[in-house]
């Protein structure tokens, strides 16, 4: 357990008092390191960049680090060029983690956060770890961007169009353009506010959902041709092998949203995509409808996530991972 993984650390939910505490913590810091999880999505990067731009506006020295560079479909985010894979300077006295609940999910940049004198966590995942001297976690929020927008407004921040676009990206992507059941009235209200502040919804929609490269389309064809179902077509999954990526000229980031296509089949309750990112390494995305908790399935294999969206990894062959995962999905279907 690191010095920041304190079981007795206060757990806040992102209300006005938490905004006051966050504001105090930020203003007492001289230099701030911002980070988010491996394989960052729109919520992770949108929040990290919005926080960085806010800190710029109050003249706080800061930088953003992430184990992985932004995927192609998120390179449009305002400030994306400031994301590095390691800090450009040392001596940050405050670190802020966004959209993750475990130091392990920081990947190679974790040591920089572990060594920071003070650590803040802002997240919406179910906490299974306790990192952070100040932990602001609201598991009912559909996106960390909802929590951060709420906090920034409480702190009296001036939301620029660039900040608004980043935050709106987080809300849009984690709610599936407001289609997922996690969409809340607050998310809709805050999205409207971000639009008023100059958030560019059209740009987000074009770049995230309507800019798939040809190689990605070819790979989607392979995924659909490899489709398998079980339990009267209530389970659906597909496997992409390492060679499939090479044959299509595609990369793993081209598979963004693939698993959601499997869930569009009318009978399917649980869907999964297994991707052999390199020989012996299989990454899994899980999605479900309604009450089916795929986060439970992911946790069986040291993964995690939300009830309807989760992920995990295997150090095995795709065939071995598939056998284990399908049994887990069947058990989830039977128990819910």
What are the tens digits of pLDDT across the range 105-120?
Answer: 899 999 999 999 999 9
- pTM for the model stands at 0.87
Residue 165 placed within a domain: yes
> Pick from 14, 55, 24: which is nearest to 118 by CA?
24
Based on the domain organization, do 166 and 117 belong to the same domain? Answer: yes
Q: Which residue has the higher pLDDT, 306 or 205?
A: 205
* Average pLDDT for the chain: 93
Strand extents, DSSP E, the chain: 11-12, 31-35, 61-65, 83-84, 94-98, 119-123, 134-137, 228-230, 235-240, 270-278, 281-288, 304-305, 309-314
pLDDT score of 11 more than 60: no
Report yes or no: 26 and 60 within 8 Å, Cβ to Cβ: yes
Report d(CA 146, CA 151) in Å as an integer. 9
Written as six digits, the tokens of 20 are 């006051």
Report d(CA 287, CA 89) in Å as an integer. 39
Q: Which domain holds residue 324?
A: 214-335
Based on the domain organization, do 54 and 196 belong to the same domain? Answer: yes
What torsion do the CA atoms of 105, 38, 92, 4 make, to the nearest 10 degrees? Answer: -10
Confidence of residue 253 (pLDDT cuts 50, 70, 90): confident
The single residue listed with the structure tokens 């289609």 is 179
pLDDT score of 24 more than 70: yes
Residue 293 placed within a domain: yes
Which residue among 155, 186, 208 closes a domain? Answer: 208
For 169-189, give one letter per residue: b (16+ CB within 10 A) or e: bbbbbbbbeeebebbbebbee
Based on the domain organization, do 196 and 222 belong to the same domain? Answer: no
pLDDT, mean of residues 234-253 = 96
Label the pairing between strands 309-314 and 134-137.
unpaired
User: CA angle at residue 51 from 6 to 204, to 5 degrees?
Assistant: 125
pLDDT, mean of residues 304-324 = 93
Task: Give how many domains the chain has, as a whole number.
Answer: 2
Based on the domain organization, do 227 and 186 belong to the same domain? Answer: no
Report d(CA 120, CA 131) in Å as an integer. 8
pLDDT (tens digit, 9 = 90+) per residue, 164-221? 999 999 999 999 999 888 999 999 999 999 999 999 999 999 999 888 899 999 999 9
CATH assignment at residue 328? 3.10.310.30
């Amino acid at each position: 357990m690191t010095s920041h993984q304190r079981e007795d650390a206060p757990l806040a939910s992102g209300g006005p008092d938490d905004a006051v505490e966050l504001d105090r913590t930020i203003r007492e810091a001289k230099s701030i390191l911002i980070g988010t999880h491996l394989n960052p999505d729109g919520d992770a990067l949108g929040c990290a960049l919005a926080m960085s731009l806010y800190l710029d506006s109050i003249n706080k020295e800061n930088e953003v680090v992430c184990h992985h560079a932004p995927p192609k479909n998120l390179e449009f985010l305002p400030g994306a060029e400031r994301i590095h894979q390691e800090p450009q300077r040392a001596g940050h006295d405050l670190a802020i983690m966004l959209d993750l609940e475990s130091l392990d999910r920081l990947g190679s940049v974790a040591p920089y956060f572990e060594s920071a004198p003070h650590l803040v966590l802002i997240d919406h995942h179910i906490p299974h770890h306790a990192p952070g001297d100040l932990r602001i976690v609201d598991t009912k929020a559909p996106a960390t961007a909802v929590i951060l927008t709420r906090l920034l407004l409480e702190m009296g921040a001036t939301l620029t169009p660039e900040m608004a676009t980043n935050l709106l990206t987080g809300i849009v992507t984690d709610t599936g353009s407001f289609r997922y059941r996690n969409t809340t009235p607050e998310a809709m209200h805050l999205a409207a506010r971000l639009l008023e502040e100059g958030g560019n919804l059209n740009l987000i929609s074009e770049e995230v959902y309507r800019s798939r490269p040809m190689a990605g389309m070819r790979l989607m064809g392979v995924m659909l041709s490899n489709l398998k179902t079980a339990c009267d077509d209530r389970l659906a999954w597909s496997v992409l092998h390492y060679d499939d990526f090479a044959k299509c000229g595609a990369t793993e980031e081209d598979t963004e949203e693939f698993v959601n296509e499997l869930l569009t089949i009318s009978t399917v309750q649980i869907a999964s995509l297994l991707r052999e990112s390199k020989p012996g390494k299989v990454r899994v995305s899980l999605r479900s409808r309604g009450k089916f908790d795929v986060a439970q399935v992911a946790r069986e294999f040291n993964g995690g996530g939300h009830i309807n969206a989760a992920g995990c990894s295997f150090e095995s062959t795709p065939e071995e991972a598939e056998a284990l995962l399908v049994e887990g999905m069947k058990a989830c279907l039977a128990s819910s």
